[in-house]
Structure formats: structure tokens, C-alpha cells
């Protein structure tokens, strides 16, 4: 997530797998005994599938990290139910050529009572760009069109040439290399939030690694958390500029990876929010506490094209067609997820008003076809001179992903005689590190849209893309994606056509093997309401408790 503008943020946003119980009598009981401490505070407890690893918004990469961070720091814009709106900025003046944005900042304070200034934004963005920091989301500066971002991030250019400049405490000037129509959506990403320079530099390498090593300007501050702990407690920030509209006093995020444990915790009122899948959906779908939505998040198999065998496109295609995606969503997930035969998820904008990318592309790829998979497999054996293949499948250690991994293992081995798949379950943070280092052969990965534009997916699979862990490279794909972000940015139809061609290239070559687009079924106590962003993510600052 991923992913996932506040899509990133939101990526982002994407609150993880948890589970619950219901029934009208239980709902009424939950309403009368809703989580509240003895002082009458209004608290909400939310389940996550992975532990928080950092509060440093520059280097955070997981959806779980970003979900917490977006509640404690805030940038120029924030997400709403219909899109985005100004947050840290009160106004913006845009030049006629759409290349210069002058933001006037709101009067707001950090949690240490220091004013938030334009210099905090300049410092944060330059820190994001600094190669020595090693931020994986540095490429988002390039996606946002920030002047000289590519040279600064990837070619060791002087960091002071980056197109961001504070001209006084309240004025931030952002200069672009090219127009970016969706810039406001991009800037909701947690990595674009400000950082108080003096405080961060004083913390040094410890910045973000405890609740006291960060200052906050968001709806909440961190009340309790330790690295490696399974619980993060947030408390309402009285200094937040919009504090009067933040109704929940505390948010507690608790890691629960096992579905049954999540259900029991919800039933016993230890959790107020829990996502559900599988048989639990059928069990609870008639409850008034049941809700569902479709997220802009794609789950896919990522083959390492440097692993012996996966350099062969026909073998990758054989794997892509060899397992039943419909069975995964029908029999394992059961939460509204849909089989994915595409890269760009449904509901994502095309860049042309009123038309989604999927409607415009009007094409799918790599649909399950076991007979065709066997044909590709036989062809791959001839091309490689091998009669058998053994690969290790890497995946997150939560209960649902483990079931999916076991199903895919069985399906591929049964469809392609001579293929052996071993399984390797890892905590999400470890899985990402293994992929990042190239120490994997095949992995179940995911990406949530960081903002409402196809580039949020296309950019990550370019040759130099930070999340192109499979090391796939195609010069034509790179050229199409580059032109869509540059020369064609003001020609929506030509840009869309370039992206449609790029999607065909990456999937015809089976650089990734799509599995499903995530549906989200969840239970929320009946006396709690919370708004959702256009990406299907809960906006917890809007939560209200009766």
C-alpha cells in the first residue's frame, strides 16, 4: 500500500487483516459497552497484520506504517471522501505554465509547540531526495515532476537544485520540470509531510524509532509504542489545526495475524474494527456491523527474472496461467476481491474525465488457462533445456496470505509436472527486505495506488524503479512510461494510449503475475462511524463514537 497519495497515504492506506463477531444482540451489547476508559475517553481499537516498524515518514514503506503515520503527521493536502483538500496549506497560487506552485501555509504547531514552517517542508523533501538517506519513495519526487528530482535522487546532483524552496516561514515555492495535473493527490503522501529540521537532526539515527524521537502535527500524537511491539496507541493532538473535528480521543492499532484470534478479540470487545475474509464473511455478512468496499490494491506474484528459469518469459507465462484466481477469491478470500487479469486496478482514473483506465483499455491479460499454461511450460523446457524446475515462494506470514500461497503451490505443481515450489513465510518487513536485496525467486507482493493516476503503478516497474524487485527491464516500456510523464502530460488521450501499450508489454512478458484486486470486508462496532476515502481507506480522523 501502495501505495498505498493518500492513496499512498492511503496507500495507503490499507488497514490490515483482522476479524470479528456480530449478531444484533451482540451489536447492542457492543454499543452499550463500547471501548472507553474509566475517565470516559472515547477510544477505538483497530487490528493490523504487521507491527509498526518506524515513525520516520521519509523511510516508511509498509501500508501499516503509513496508516499510523498519516494520523500523526500531515502535509499540504489531506484526503477526503471525494478526493483531497488543503491541510497544511491555506492557499496555493499556480503559474500560467503550471510549473510553479506557491503555497501559503496555515498557522500550526508541532507537538513540542514549535511553529510548523515552510523550511520544515523544504528540509523534509530534500531529505527524501538525499541518496544517503536511501528513501525508497524518493522516486515520488520524480513522479511529482519536482524540478531536478531525477538528477538529485539518482545522479548525485546538488541537493540544493531540487525544485523546493522556502522563501519565508509561511511561503513554500515548488517548481516543476513539467506540468503534473494530479499534483495535489500526490502530495497527500506521508513522505511529503514536513519534518522539523532541528529536532530530527538532534535525534540522528534514532529519529522515528520511538514515540519520543518524533514530533507531530497531525490529528494524533503517539502515546505509547516501542520498536518490535505489537501495539501502537495514539492520542488526540490538541495542537492540531482541525482538532475540533477530531472526535476519538485514542486510536490503538494492535497486530493480530491469526484470523481466529482476531474474531475472538472482536467478540470480547478488545477490538472495534477488524477486516474479515473467507468463511467469516458468510458468517457475519448479515450483521449491521458488516461493511465492504473494493480497494485500489493489486496482489501479484513477482518472479525474480535473475533467478535461473525465470529469465524465460514462457516459463513466467506458464506460471501466470496455471492457477485458478477465481477459486482464490471465491473460496479463500470471500471478501469482495476480484480476479486480476490486469496491472491497473479497477476504478483508477485514466487521466480523461469520467473514464477509468480499465474502461478505456477494455482488455485483460493472463487469464487462468491451464491447457495454455502447459503449452508455455513445454516450450520453456525446450528453450531452457531443463525438464524440471524448483522455486521458493516467499510470502507474508499472515493467515490469509499463507492459505493463498499453499493454494498456488498446489495448483502450479499439479498443472506443470516437474515444477516444485517450496514455501517461505516471513513477517512482512522481512519479506520486503528479502525482495529488495534480490534474495528471492518468487514472491507474493502487493501494491496500493498512492494517488489517482495510472503512473502510480507504471512507474514502479521501470528498469530503475525502486520496487522493481524482479529486475525486469524493457526499453520500450521504459520509453512509453517516460513519455507519458513528460512529453505527453498535456495530451491526455495520447498519454492514455501510451499507458495502454505499456500495460500490454509488461503483462505479455509476464513481468508480474496478477492474482487479485483486494476487496475489503470488515466489522466495525455499530456505535462507531468513520468516513472512507475514494480509495476505500478509512479516514480515522473522522471517526465518531456515539
Cell numbers for 421:
515450489
User: End-to-end alpha-carbon separation of the chain, Å?
Assistant: 31
Strand partners, 164: 174
CA 113, CA 206: separation in Å to the nearest integer?
21
CA 121, CA 197: separation in Å to the nearest integer?
9
Tens digit of each residue's pLDDT, the chain (546 residues):
443 333 333 333 333 333 333 333 333 323 333 343 434 568 999 998 889 999 999 999 888 999 999 999 999 999 999 889 999 999 999 999 999 999 999 999 999 999 999 999 999 999 999 999 999 999 999 999 999 999 999 999 999 999 999 999 999 999 999 999 999 999 999 999 999 999 999 999 999 999 999 999 999 999 999 988 999 999 999 999 999 999 999 999 999 888 778 888 999 999 999 988 888 888 998 999 999 888 899 999 999 999 999 999 999 999 999 999 999 999 999 989 999 999 999 989 888 888 999 999 999 999 999 999 999 999 999 999 999 999 999 999 999 999 999 999 999 999 999 999 999 999 998 999 999 999 999 999 999 998 889 999 999 999 988 889 999 999 999 999 999 988 998 899 999 999 999 999 999 999 999 999 999 889 999 999 999 988 878 999 999 998
Q: Residue 430 burial by CB count (10 A; 0-12/13-18/19+): exposed, middle or buried?
A: middle
Cell numbers for 174:
515548488
Query: In this structure, how many other beta carbons lie within 10 angstroms of the beta carbon of residue 134?
Result: 9
The C-alpha cell 497515504 sits at 9
Domains and CATH numbers, the chain: 24-55+219-293+521-531 (3.40.190.10), 295-520 (3.10.105.10)
Strand partners, 303: 442
Cell numbers for 465:
524503479
Cell numbers for 56:
520516520
- Rounded to the nearest 5°, which phi and psi values hold at 226? -130, 140
Per DSSP, the three-state class of 274 is strand
Q: Is the dihedral of CA 535, 536, 538, 544 positive or negative?
A: positive
CA 364, CA 357: separation in Å to the nearest integer?
12
Task: Please write down the HEC assignment for all residues of 366-399.
Answer: CCCCHHHHHHHHHHHHHHHCCCCEEEEEEEECCH
- Rounded to the nearest 5°, which phi and psi values hold at 338? -125, 150
Task: Please write down the HEC assignment for all residues of 98-158.
Answer: CCEEEEEECCCECCCCCECCHHHHHHHHHHHHCCCCCCHHHHHHHHCCECCHHHHHHCCCC
Give per-residue pLDDT as tens, 164-186: 999 999 999 999 999 999 999 99
Strand partners, 349: 356
CA angle 421, 424, 430 (to 5 degrees): 145
Cell numbers for 49:
497484520
Tell me which long-range contacts 400-405 makes (C-beta under 8 A, separation of at least 24).
400/17, 400/259, 400/277, 400/278, 400/332, 400/333, 401/444, 403/278, 403/332, 404/299, 404/328, 404/332, 404/333, 404/444, 404/515, 405/444
CA 235, CA 238: separation in Å to the nearest integer?
9
Strand partners, 513: 301
Helices and strands (DSSP H and E) totals, the chain: 18, 21
Strand partners, 176: 146
Q: Residue 354 burial by CB count (10 A; 0-12/13-18/19+): exposed, middle or buried?
A: exposed
Mutual orientation of helices 370-384 and 313-321 as an angle, nearest 10°?
A: 160
Provide, for the chain, the percentages of residues in helix, strand and coil under a 3-state DSSP scheme, each rounded to the nearest 5: 35, 25, 40
Residue 448 CA: distances (Å) to CA of 324, 333, 469, 475: 22, 18, 16, 25
Predicted TM-score of the model (pTM): 0.82
Q: Residue 543 burial by CB count (10 A; 0-12/13-18/19+): exposed, middle or buried?
A: buried
Cell numbers for 420:
516444485
Mutual orientation of helices 370-384 and 399-415 as an angle, nearest 10°?
A: 70
Give per-residue pLDDT as tens, 354-371: 899 999 999 999 999 999
Amino acid at each position: 500500500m501502495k501505495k498505498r497519495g493518500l492513496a499512498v497515504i492511503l496507500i495507503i492506506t490499507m488497514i490490515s487483516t483482522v476479524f470479528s463477531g456480530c449478531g444484533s444482540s451482540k451489536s447492542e451489547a457492543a454499543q452499550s459497552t463500547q471501548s472507553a476508559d474509566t475517565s470516559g475517553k472515547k477510544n477505538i481499537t483497530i487490528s493490523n497484520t504487521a507491527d509498526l516498524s518506524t515513525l520516520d515518514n521519509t523511510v516508511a514503506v509498509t501500508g501499516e506504517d503509513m496508516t499510523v503515520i498519516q494520523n500523526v503527521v500531515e502535509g499540504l493536502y489531506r484526503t477526503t471522501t471525494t478526493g483531497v483538500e488543503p491541510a497544511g496549506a491555506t492557499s496555493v497560487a499556480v503559474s500560467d505554465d503550471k510549473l510553479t506552485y506557491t503555497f501559503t501555509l496555515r498557522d500550526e504547531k508541532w507537538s513540542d509547540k514549535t511553529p510548523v514552517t515552510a523550511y520544515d517542508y523544504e528540509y523534509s523533501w530534500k531529505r527524501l531526495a538525499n541518496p544517503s538517506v536511501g528513501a525508497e519513495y524518493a522516486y515520488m519526487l520524480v513522479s511529482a515532476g519536482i524540478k531536478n528530482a531525477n538528477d538529485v535522487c539518482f545522479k548525485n546532483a546538488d541537493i540544493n537544485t531540487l525544485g523546493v524552496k522556502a522563501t519565508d516561514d509561511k511561503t513554500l515555492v515548488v517548481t516543476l520540470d513539467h506540468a503534473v495535473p494530479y499534483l495535489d493527490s500526490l502530495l497527500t503522501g506521508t513522505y511529503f509531510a514536513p519534518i522539523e529540521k532541528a529536532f530530527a537532526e538532534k535525534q540522528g539515527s534514532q529519529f522515528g524509532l520511538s514515540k519520543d524521537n518524533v514530533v507531530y502535527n497531525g490529528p494524533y500524537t503517539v502515546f505509547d509504542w516501542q520498536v518490535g511491539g505489537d501495539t501502537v496507541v495514539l492520542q488526540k493532538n490538541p495542537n492540531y489545526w482541525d482538532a475540533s473535528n477530531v472526535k476519538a480521543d485514542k486510536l490503538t492499532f494492535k497486530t493480530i495475524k491469526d484470523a481466529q484470534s482476531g474474531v475472538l478479540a472482536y467478540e470480547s470487545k478488545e477490538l472495534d474494527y477488524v477486516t474479515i475474509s473467507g468463511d467469516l464473511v458468510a458468517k457475519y455478512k448479515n450483521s449491521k456491523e458488516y461493511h465492504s468496499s473494493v480497494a485500489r490494491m493489486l496482489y501479484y506474484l513477482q518472479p525474480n527474472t535473475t533467478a535461473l528459469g525465470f529469465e524465460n518469459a514462457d516459463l513466467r507465462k506458464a506460471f501466470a496461467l496455471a492457477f485458478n484466481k477465481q477459486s482464490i477469491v471465491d473460496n479463500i478470500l470471500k471478501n469482495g476481491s476480484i480476479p486480476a487479469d490486469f496491472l491497473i486496478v479497477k476504478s483508477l482514473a485514466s487521466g480523461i474525465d469520467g473514464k477509468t483506465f480499465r474502461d478505456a483499455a477494455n482488455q485483460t491479460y493472463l487469464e487462468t488457462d491451464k491447457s495454455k499454461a502447459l503449452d508455455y511450460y513445454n516450450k520453456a523446457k525446450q528453450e531452457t533445456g531443463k525438464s524440471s524446475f524448483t522455486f521458493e515462494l516467499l510470502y507474508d506470514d499472515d493467515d490469509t496470505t499463507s492459505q493463498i500461497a499453499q493454494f498456488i503451490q498446489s495448483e502450479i505443481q499439479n498443472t506443470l509436472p516437474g515444477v516444485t515450489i517450496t514455501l517461505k513465510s516471513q513477517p512482512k518487513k522481512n519479506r520486503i527486505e528479502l525482495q529488495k536485496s534480490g534474495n528471492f525467486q518468487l514472491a507474493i507482493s502487493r501494491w496500493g495506488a498512492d494517488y489517482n493516476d495510472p503512473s502510480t503503478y507504471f512507474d514502479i516497474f521501470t528498469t530503475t524503479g525502486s520496487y522493481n524487485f524482479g529486475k525486469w527491464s524493457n526499453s520500450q516500456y521504459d520509453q512509453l512510461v517516460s513519455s507519458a510523464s513528460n512529453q505527453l502530460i498535456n495530451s491526455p488521450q495520447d498519454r492514455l494510449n501510451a499507458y495502454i501499450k505499456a500495460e500490454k508489454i509488461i503483462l505479455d512478458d509476464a513481468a508480474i503475475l496478477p492474482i487479485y484486486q483486494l476487496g475489503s470486508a470488515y466489522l466495525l462496532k455499530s456505535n462507531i462511524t468513520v468516513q472512507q476515502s475514494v480509495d476505500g481507506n478509512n479516514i480515522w480522523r473522522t471517526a465518531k463514537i456515539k
